[in-house]
A and B are shown apart, each in its own frame.
Chain A
């Protein structure tokens, strides 16, 4: 049993939710009209009114990963209510909702469940105890004879019951008690509770950022330089301004904004804006040239050693057999289906925003800086999000709306087209990996040297991130911290080497080097971040080593994971469920990959056939261990979704630059997997009682290598470049 002292609870409360407030707003005494319901708000996450509305505040954002359901379950488990009866509210920008793992209000890194596990259950337990106490006192009975269930307090000996709402006023007057959290016999946690947000997502009523209606709001589109970082030299808006529905054309920091009565009117007019660009330093940037540079650096570049075990250089020079391979991964666009958008209303005294953001905290801080105003004057309204995947951790699309609104003095919604989204977003960095390995005479892997060549994401966004985490610090401190922290963070950027650095295989001589090569291309966090490319290198290379050693790819890995139990167990589960080693239909081949990311363990087996140069993926079997599972159906859905997401990247995705310009523009040249291409996906959970960890991202990294390894099994060809293509290889 876990007993938390009041002090500990208050401390925890302060860390994540501010002081534990016991707030009551009582209706005006003697009001003749229907009085406002009294509200019991024992902490920042939960509110119960005297008319039984139970509202929970989500410290993360709901972008499809299901936390608006699983977090409700955490509270419901302790409070004693059906989670389907709870109402979700998105948190405002407020330090009380900082993710304790980042110390910043942001959703990412697959951290929500881990970050919410204790605080949300504590919130429910505290409220329950106070309601029980209030009911017991009101009935003159022993609290120990009462239970909370189905939104009511029941006195068991007499069967007397009363809904929570009846005791709200009394509960609000009580001292915050010690609480004990359940450690077993969960009735809501661990259950496949149907998604609470499905209803509003199947009838068109969920309001996404792009749907927000603010009275008097105009629509705006921004004409941006085709080369990242380019600036406006001059522009001619005469023809655009003459078009119907157009109100204004203004210059902002990212280009020229056309403001009109609808998106359509703005978009038509934008085509008539003539801009002369100073294309800037990236005008001749090409991904073909970058790849050449990367390969050169992978072979000759020194880099910073971020991990070292044994003496890898000596081991390689003495090896019975040395293997070497280079793997490449391109820039990738997140391409969420809801294009970037934000609505802002800047007045002389405040700025109100409606944004599908992944970080109200960062947004708040950046708007404050942009406008030079106080925190209380910036209000962020979180909306439903049409796909995040890390894209909406970068706030520049929202700052555009602030700039335009400020320029025209009216509320404005800036909407990006698909082409804008494809060509002007920050990307998953391009990366090249060179792995060298040594096998001994017995075919054991004894050395592994891995060089990662890529740019630093933290260098690109670190400044904004650090500023936001120090939001309440004085300006000079933020500047100091930023100027110290960002270079440090970038030099050994964890997000560049993650997945490579913590190689789990028990290889006695191991080294990982980070060769940092900056391009100036804007980059950001893309679902699974560094793992999205590093696992391709590690899981393809270990597969190549297995083949060189004449061993089965699963058996070879199992041996190397002999001390990594959780990773080995998901590998075994996936292999078993996929029928690894049993006869397959003719023309079908299997490939495997296993990887740990964001503290969770995932393995995938892909079943593939090859017809000519066409790679067909028929089935993907996933096995995952993310500790104690709050909602198994949501975990399965995340694994299914990650498989499709990973498959699109594995087979189709590349953002290419020529003369500084992104070549891809819409879904005809940056294709998403379609229904008829989606394989059967089986998701298996290895349940256990370890502390909950995340699942939003961990399913992604294993997909590309599992497919590449299956293609090798089918053809004998190693595909080492993403996206996978047999046409390029032949």
Chain B
């Protein structure tokens, strides 16, 4: 039995320890917001947060995640309040087919938690791991800048927004 903390809720799964988190999420927990695209950590559609760090769930055996804090796209909206990335993505009509966008937003929200006003170089470096076949990269870039702007205007704590302890808390 593997115990995982997903979006703040502790759950137990009767799965092999080497089963990747992606498939536990999708087919055992029934959470299909995290997607399957390549199975080889090349495309990024499976991106989740493990302790606030963007992680490719398709290659993470669940056995290594006991006790770790896992956040999925479903957990990004907290108390009905959407993450600034989700709002900026909607405002700028970023998604086309939409399949890669969960992963894009998970990577982007982790970037903003680490770097609230990222440069284009920061965006290049972090977002290079997330593919988009529809070619929405220019809009993703603009939406990350817009999310940063929204967060600044509204004084959103971008670390808290992904469920990570801020500077005031003990780690």
Interface residues of A (CB under 8 A from B): 63-66, 194-195, 197-208, 210-211, 213, 219, 244, 261-264, 335-339, 384-389, 415, 417-418, 633-634, 637, 640-645, 666-668, 672-676, 678, 680-681
Known: A194-B91, A208-B98. 6 other contacts (CB 8 A): A204-B31, A386-B97, A387-B99, A637-B93, A667-B42, A681-B138
Given A203-B33, A338-B35, A668-B42, also A198-B97 (CB < 8 A): no
Q: Is the CB of A666 within 8 A of B40?
A: yes
What are the 9 A-B residue pairs with the smallest beta carbon separation, nearest first?
A: A204-B33, A644-B135, A386-B99, A201-B98, A64-B96, A64-B97, A641-B135, A211-B32, A676-B124
Q: Does B19 contact A (CB under 8 A)?
A: yes
Q: Which of B91, B132, B133 has the most CB of A within 10 A?
A: B133
Given A203-B76, A336-B133, also A418-B37 (CB < 8 A): yes
Please name the residue on chain A nearest to B77 by beta carbon.
Answer: A203
Please name the residue on chain B nearest to A413 by beta carbon.
Answer: B27
Instruction: Name the interface residues of B20-49: CB closer than 8 Å to any CB of A.
Output: 20, 23, 26-28, 30-40, 42-43, 45
Cβ contacts B101-140/A at 8 Å (1 or 0 each):
1100100000000000000000111011111111111111
Q: Does B53 contact A (CB under 8 A)?
A: no
Please name the residue on chain A nearest to B28 by beta carbon.
Answer: A262
Please name the residue on chain B nearest to A645 by beta carbon.
Answer: B135
User: Across the interface, which residues of B come within 8 angstroms of A261, CB to CB?
Assistant: 27
Please name the residue on chain B nearest to A204 by beta carbon.
Answer: B33
A63, B133: Cα distance in complex, Å: 12
Q: Is the CB of A337 within 8 A of B135?
A: no
Q: Does B90 contact A (CB under 8 A)?
A: yes
Output the least CB separation between A518 and chain B (Å).
29
A210, B76: Cα distance in complex, Å: 22
Q: Is the CB of B37 within 8 A of A339?
A: yes
Output the least CB separation between B127 and chain A (Å).
4
Q: Does B141 contact A (CB under 8 A)?
A: yes
Output the least CB separation between A265 and chain B (Å).
8
Q: Does B72 contact A (CB under 8 A)?
A: yes
Which of B35, B82, B91, B125 is within 8 Å of A676, CB to CB?
A: B125
Q: Is the CB of A387 within 8 A of B123?
A: no
Interface residues of B (CB under 8 A from A): 16, 19-20, 23, 26-28, 30-40, 42-43, 45, 72-74, 76-77, 82, 85-86, 89-91, 93-102, 105, 123-125, 127-141
Please name the residue on chain A nearest to B37 by beta carbon.
Answer: A337
Please name the residue on chain A nearest to B20 by beta carbon.
Answer: A264
Q: Is the CB of B93 within 8 A of A633?
A: yes
User: Across the interface, which residues of B come within 8 angstroms of A634, CB to CB?
Assistant: 93
Interface of A is mostly: loop
Output the least CB separation between A623 and chain B (Å).
17
User: Across the interface, which residues of B come within 8 angstroms of A203, CB to CB?
Assistant: 33, 73-74, 76-77, 82, 86
- Can you give 9 A-B contacts (C-beta < 8 A)? A202-B86, A202-B105, A203-B77, A204-B31, A337-B43, A640-B135, A641-B96, A673-B135, A678-B135
A65, B136: Cα distance in complex, Å: 12
Q: Is the CB of B99 within 8 A of A198?
A: no
Q: Is the CB of B23 within 8 A of A204?
A: no
User: Across the interface, which residues of A come within 8 angstroms of B74, CB to CB?
Assistant: 203-204
User: Across the interface, which residues of B come within 8 angstroms of A204, CB to CB?
Assistant: 31-34, 72-74, 102
User: Across the interface, which residues of B come within 8 angstroms of A644, CB to CB?
Assistant: 132, 134-135, 137
Given A264-B20, A637-B93, also A667-B40 (CB < 8 A): yes
Q: Is the CB of A244 within 8 A of B16?
A: yes
Q: Is the CB of A386 within 8 A of B138?
A: no
Q: Which of B86, B90, B132 has the most CB of A within 10 A?
A: B132
Q: Is the CB of B27 within 8 A of A263?
A: yes
Q: Is the CB of B127 within 8 A of A386?
A: no
Q: Is the CB of B137 within 8 A of A675?
A: yes
A165, B97: Cα distance in complex, Å: 32
User: Across the interface, which residues of A come within 8 angstroms of B130, CB to CB?
Assistant: 675
Q: Is the CB of A676 within 8 A of B128?
A: yes
User: Across the interface, which residues of B come within 8 angstroms of A678, CB to CB?
Assistant: 135, 137-138
Q: Is the CB of A418 within 8 A of B38?
A: yes
Q: Is the CB of A642 within 8 A of B124?
A: no
A642, B135: Cα distance in complex, Å: 7
Given A337-B45, A666-B42, A680-B138, also A198-B30 (CB < 8 A): no
Output the least CB separation between B71 and chain A (Å).
12
Please name the residue on chain B nearest to A646 by beta carbon.
Answer: B135
Q: Is the CB of B27 within 8 A of A219?
A: yes
Q: Is the CB of B30 within 8 A of A213?
A: yes
User: Across the interface, which residues of A come within 8 angstroms of B91, CB to CB?
Assistant: 194
User: Across the interface, which residues of B come within 8 angstroms of A201, CB to CB?
Assistant: 95, 98, 101
Q: Which of B31, B82, B95 has the most CB of A within 10 A?
A: B95
A308, B157: Cα distance in complex, Å: 68
Please name the residue on chain B nearest to A667 by beta carbon.
Answer: B42
Output the least CB separation between A517 and chain B (Å).
29
Q: Which of A64, A204, A667 has the most CB of B within 10 A?
A: A204
User: Across the interface, which residues of B come within 8 angstroms of A642, CB to CB?
Assistant: 135
Output the least CB separation between B9 and chain A (Å).
16
Q: Is the CB of A210 within 8 A of B97?
A: no
Given A201-B98, A208-B99, A667-B40, also A640-B93 (CB < 8 A): no
Q: Is the CB of B42 within 8 A of A386?
A: no
Q: Is the CB of A675 within 8 A of B98?
A: no
Please name the residue on chain A nearest to B107 by beta carbon.
Answer: A675
Output the least CB separation between B153 and chain A (Å).
19
Please name the residue on chain B nearest to A416 by beta carbon.
Answer: B36
